[in-house]
Structure formats: C-alpha cells, structure tokens
A and B are shown apart, each in its own frame.
Chain A
Amino acid sequence: MNDKDKLKEVVDQAIADQQVPHVKLKKMGPSSVDIEKLTKPSKETHQEYWGKGLTYFAIGLIIVLVVSIIGFVGYHGLATFIDNHVNVFHFLTSTDWDPGEGKNHVGAAVMIVTSFAVTLLAALVATPFAVAIALYMTEYSSKKGASFLQSVTELLVGIPSVVYGFLGLTIIIPVIRTLFGGTGFGILAATLVLFVMVLPTITSLTVDSLKAVPSHFRKASMALGATHWQTIYHVVLRVATPRILTAVIFGMARAFGEALAVQMVIGNAVLMPYNLVSPSATLTSQLTSQMGNTVMGTLPNNALWSLALLLLIMSLVFNFLVKLIGKRGQK
C-alpha cells in the first residue's frame, strides 16, 4: 500500500468518526476529499520555488559576470606573454615602453611605479585628514555638526571623477606650474586630485570603525582620569586600528583604479618620474589614452591588456589584504 492510499484511509476514517466534534464537516462524505490535491505541492509552494529560483538566478548571473571578467581580461592579458613571448620579468622591470617596436620593448615599470606612487602618496595625505574628520564626527562634535560633515563627505563622493580631473586641470596644474615650473603635469597633481577623491571613502569607513568601539571603553578610560585625547589615542584608536587600515586600503584601491581624473593631470608621457612634477603615466592613464589607438590582437594591444590584467590583479590583492586584516582584527 502506498502513502497516498494510506493518507486517504486516515482522512476517510477521520471524517467517518468526526473526531473533532466542534468542526462540522458538512457535505463531506468519505469520497469527497481530493487526495491528489492534498498530496500535491500547493500554489504557494510553486511560487516559493519560482521566487527562490529567481533570486538564485540573479546571484548566479553576478557570479558568472565576475568570473568572466577575470577570465576575459586574464586571457587577453596573458596573450602578451604566451603568444608574443614577452618575458614577464622584463615586462615588470623594464622602463622601455614601445610595444609597436617588438617584444623587447614591452616594459611597464614606469606605469607600475607611477601608479603605486600616486596611490601611496594620496593615501598618505588623505589618511590624517580622514581620521581627523572621523574623530571630530564621533568624539567631538554635536549631532548637527556630524550630520553636516556627513553631507560634506557624501557630496565629495557624488562629484563625478571627470569633474575632479577638470578642476585639477584648471586649478591645480596652473598653481604647480607657477610654483615649480615645468608643465605642471605629474605625480603631485595626480596626488592632489586623488587625495580629494579618496578622502570621503576613507572617512566614512573610519567613522564606522570608531562608532564600533564600545562606549564603556571610553568611560573606563575617563574614569581612570585620562584626558579626552589620551582616551582617543590610547583606547579608541588602538581598538579601531585594524578597521582604519581596512579603510585606508579601500581608499588606495579606489586611487589605484581611478582612470580619467588621473589621465587628465598626469601628463601621459611614458617616462620614469624623476620628481613629483615631471610628466608620467599610470596603468589606468595609459589604458585610457592608448586603447583606442591599437588594433585588437596585435602586440601593442595585448600589452595594454596586460596592463589591465595588472590592474585587476592589484584590485584582487587589495581585496585580499582587507580580508586578511579583517581576520586578524577579529582575533
């Protein structure tokens, strides 16, 4: 006897016995119960399957997307080394960038050095400001002041990056030109533009990290007779350090990947920067300005894809660092 028959028997018996006396099952004879319907999934169950399926599909789509971005960029980026036989070590260390001339002229060191230089300098300048604003918002100011600064940082995030580039071009470059001579284009200009762009990123994440410090830590420190600053320096900042580092890395990731604003002020000359105001090129600026000038599948084009791959790898490294610090911070 299968389950359906069993169920039918039980239902029939129950109806015959009227086991639940106050529930009158009017017009319900033993044969009126549709066992098929009782044992099938309900409409709601179907909807549940469909709904759940839709959400699975959406999340799957995003994962496929990320995998294919990495796959496509990786495939084209590696072509330089596999198809064109460029030496990886040479690619990373040589400053000779002229891929049109053949495989011995594909050296990305200039772009790598400049990219790291602007990123590190921007983070270095922005971090003290970001921590100061975050401290002011969480430890010093009234609610009104904090929400005012909150809007300030949100506005800074909202300004499009080309607008920053344009401002750099029309304000910062002329100032540098008069102060230091030369063209004004270079690492200094890029650093200043990036400083404003990463400031809100680092600030808002630092605010979160300071807010996460339990207030009884502060009270305990105050009760010991510490001054406000001693409390901040020895207690609040100590506890929040891992997450502040995470914030700085997020800011650096943004600076490293920023393309147009940097491209507008860096000068776009593949020359090793010998000071902060000599024109140079970053990975992103080179990609932006040269991608349209090369033909798909040729060495100059493949070399550019290798730069893109380098950007992608660095973005993954930044993510990995954030994870690493997060794990250590939990301990």
Chain B
Amino acid sequence: MDAKKKDKLATAVIYILVGIVVLILAGILGNILITGVPHLSWHFLSSEASSYQAGGGVRDQLFNSLYLLVLTTIISLPIALGAAIYLAEYAKDNWITNLIRTTIQILSSLPSIVVGLFGYLLFVVQFGLGFSIISGALALTFFNLPILTSNIEEAIKGVPQDQREAGLALGLSNWKTIRGIVLPAALPGILTGIILSAGRIFGEAAALIYTAGQSGSTINYADWNPFSPTSPLNVMRPAETLAVHIWKVNTEGIIPDATIVSAATSALLVIVVIVFNLGARYLGNKLYRKLTAAK
C-alpha cells in the first residue's frame, strides 16, 4: 500500500472513530432526556420520595443537593482562593512548591470513595457528627479543593504581568496589588471555575453515601430555624442527595418505579449540569467583556 492510500485510510479511520463517539454521546444524552424528561413533572419535583410505593418525588433530595452545594462552596472557596493565590503569586520555584503541587495532585486523583471514607472516619465516627449534612459538606470540600484551587490558580496566572507591575509601580503592596488588581481581573475565570466545580459537586455520590447518609429525615419547610431538628437548614440532619438517590433506588430497588424515578432524576441532574456548564461559559464571557471592555 502506498503512502497516499495509507493517508486516506488513516483519515477515514479517524473520522469513523470520531463519528462513533459523537453517536455515543448523542445516544447517552438522547436516552437520558427522552426517558427522563416526560416524568419530570411539578409533582415529581415537589413531593416527597416514597419508600416502597410508586409515584414518589425528589423534593427533599433536590433541596439537599442544592444546600450541600452552597455549603460546600462557602467552605471550600476561601481555602481554595488562599491556596491558589499562594501558588500563583507567592510560591517560589523550588522543591517545596514542587512538593505542594504534588500533594494537591495526589488529592485530586484520590478516588472519591476514599475521600468519602476518610470523611466517615473523621467526622461521622471520630467527631461524632453522625450522618449529617455538615459531614457531607466537609467531605465534598476535600473532594472539591484541589480542582477549585487549580482552576482559580489558572485564572490568576492568566492576568497579564503588566497589571501587577503597574500596581507595584503605584506603590501598592504586593497584597494590595493582588486584592485590588489581580483578583478583579481574574474574576471571570474564578467564577467559571466555581461554577464548573459546582457541577461536579452536584453529581457526586460516592463521597456522600457514608458521610451525608443514604436516608433523609422528615423536613418541615415552614421551619427555617437552623437549630430545629426538622428544619431544612439544620446541618446535623442526615440528607440524601439526587445522585445518592439514583444509586439507592437502583441498588436496593424497593420501590416498583425505580427505573422511572432514576430516569427522571438522571435527566434532572444532567440538565442542571448542562445549565451550569453553559452558565459558566456565558457568565465568564460576559464578565470578561464588561471588565476588559473587549468586544
């Protein structure tokens, strides 16, 4: 076979493989949305999950997922921001920094089940917090920190060096330059990073089954006192999220409409994640334009 024929053949193979992957994705998305969306009714979103009958909803799971997402972001953002500023602005290029980067890389590649089990050991057992939202939020924070840190670091590093030099030339201290010039300029990137990691948190289940628990408690949505045991805001109650719900109804399979419930919940999860992804891109672009006056 001569070189030209080989070239054509290779090109054809590459196009075929790409086509297969696009078809797989289309199939996955189509399947999730087609089987799930018809069951996504207001009733499904607003009623409690049933434990053994058909027709349950995901009201509490949806709330728990969102609440955990907010809590996790509140806890992990300051830490990730600090660590990212350190890595991008203060860290010298030496073996200590290398070691720190390796550590963060290790944390990011740890299986989420291991992170979840560590959370179980430390918070649920050792600190006696039990299966609770706060244990779950802390475990998710561990899971989230390395990715959020490197996303924010990238955003900070993307700010041109000139801007820092301008700040320093005005006599600002290093810290003031970072706070007043670098962080605002990096804001679009940071926001994108936060939203993208939010998508990951929203769909995570393995880190949660042994920290936030696999069952919900009775929630009274009229009670907004965070210290009341039935309040939705109470951080000490066990909480099942959407992703954990899918896993549970499929592995325990007590309710007769497990497939329908998981299809609808999957569709809900995927839609939320897509919205997060598109939102991150849109918001990032818009903020970037606003802050830099670029077209």
Interface residues of A (CB under 8 A from B): 44-45, 47-48, 50-52, 54-59, 61-63, 65-66, 68-69, 72-73, 76, 128-129, 132-133, 135-136, 140, 149, 152, 154-156, 158-163, 165-167, 169-171, 196, 199, 226-230, 232-233, 250, 253-254, 256-260, 263-264, 284, 287-289, 291-292, 296, 305, 308, 311-312, 315-316, 318-319, 323
Contact = CB atoms under 8 A, between A and B. Distances in A.
A232 B90 CA distance: 40
B5 to A, nearest CB: 10
Interface stretch (B43-51, B219-227, B265-273): B265-273
B176 to A, nearest CB: 6
B247 A229 contact: no
5 closest A-B pairs by beta carbon, nearest first, are A160-B203, A257-B111, A58-B82, A51-B175, A132-B17
A66 B107 contact: yes
Interface string B194-226: 000001101111100110001000000000000
26 contacts: A45-B173, A47-B173, A52-B175, A55-B83, A55-B86, A55-B90, A56-B86, A61-B83, A62-B146, A66-B103, A72-B122, A133-B17, A155-B29, A160-B273, A169-B250, A170-B259, A171-B31, A229-B3, A254-B109, A257-B110, A259-B206, A264-B251, A291-B120, A312-B110, A318-B109, A319-B109
B113 A287 contact: yes
Contacts of B202: 160
B28 interface: yes
Nearest to A249: B109
B176 A44 contact: yes
Contacts of B17: 128-129, 132-133
A149 B18 contact: yes
B82 A57 contact: yes
Contacts of B175: 44, 47-48, 50-52
B159 interface: no
B90 A52 contact: yes
A155 B32 CA distance: 13
Which of B6, B10, B18, B270 has the most CB atoms of chain A within a 10 A radius of its CB? B18
Contacts of A288: 113, 206, 209
B118 interface: yes
B54 interface: no
A181 to B, nearest CB: 22
Contact of A162 (B81, B149, B243): B243
B113 A284 contact: yes
Contacts of A66: 103-104, 106-107
Nearest to B27: A171
Interface centre among B22, B121, B200 (most CB of A within 10 A): B121
B22 A152 contact: yes
B285 to A, nearest CB: 13
Contact of A158 (B178, B199, B209): B199
Contacts of B80: 58
Given A51-B175, A52-B90, A230-B7, A160 B269 contact: yes
A315 B111 contact: yes
B107 to A, nearest CB: 5
A158 B205 contact: no
A100 to B, nearest CB: 20
Contact of B112 (A50, A257, A308): A257
A159 B250 contact: no
Interface in B131-179: 142, 145-146, 149, 172-176, 178-179
B228 interface: no
Nearest to B91: A59
Most buried by A among B90, B117, B262, B266: B117
Contact of B18 (A52, A132, A259): A132
B266 to A, nearest CB: 4
A259 B112 contact: yes
A296 B142 contact: no
Contacts of A132: 13-14, 17-18
Contacts of B263: 166, 170
B173 A291 contact: no
A13 B69 CA distance: 64
Interface string B54-97: 00000000000000000000000011111101110110000000
- Which of A55, A257, A312, A315: most chain B CB closer than 10 A? A55
A174 B274 CA distance: 28
B107 A65 contact: yes
B254 interface: no
A31 to B, nearest CB: 27
A287 to B, nearest CB: 6
B277 interface: yes
A276 B178 CA distance: 55
A55 B21 contact: no
Contacts of B100: 59, 63
